[in-house]
Amino acid sequence: MNQKMHAFPDLTFRLPEWVASVMPLADHVFRDDEEKMRLAVMLAKENVRHDTGGPFGAAIFDRDTGRLIAPGVNIVVPAHWSGGHAEMVALALAQQNLKTHDLGGDGMPFCELFTSVEPCAMCLGAVPWSGVRRLVCGARDEDARKVGFDEGPKPDNWIDEMEQRDISVTRNVLREEAAGVLREYAEGGKPIYNARQRRSESN
């Protein structure tokens, strides 16, 4: 008797094709926080311009060499994946690139996560498990909430919680520039895709 087996899709995701065309050369050295954040913000802006996802960008760097390890952009809608936030994509690509699940493990570079907007509740939870040792943010949580994004239930003392885990946090790097990408996205009528928001509106 033949039994039909379940068929499930493979779990795969890809960066939008345009990302490769805007990346610096592999040997480019990023000199400071502003230059690194400028890349994250540019990724967010280009993601909006190309209509390939939400207004969020991120990147993982090797602090000591100033080299880019992995970029990330928000791909929630095109990937049909609620977890496809820019930080999650950058972390996954960095771990694949360095062939480890722990970016803070033995022999790993000092990894920094730069994100155009402070992490939402999901991405904040992923940071300690990823192994990154420094988190640098552009726009603030309230900037994202102001245009309608649901950042989830984050503890008020999340920075202290990160630092207790030896993850340093720096905020407000190019904040206005990063917040401007959020406003541009919202003013352009792009989708604010909070599942819980849609559910509450239909009640």
Q: Which residues are catalytic?
A: 87
d(CA 72, CA 91): 8
What is the rounded (10 degree) CA torsion for 161, 92, 132, 156? -20
Find out whether 87 and 129 touch, Cβ atoms under 8 Å: no
Question: How crowded is residue 201: how many other Cβ atoms within 10 Å of its Cβ?
Answer: 8
Burial class (CB in 10 A: 0-12, 13-18, 19+), 3: exposed
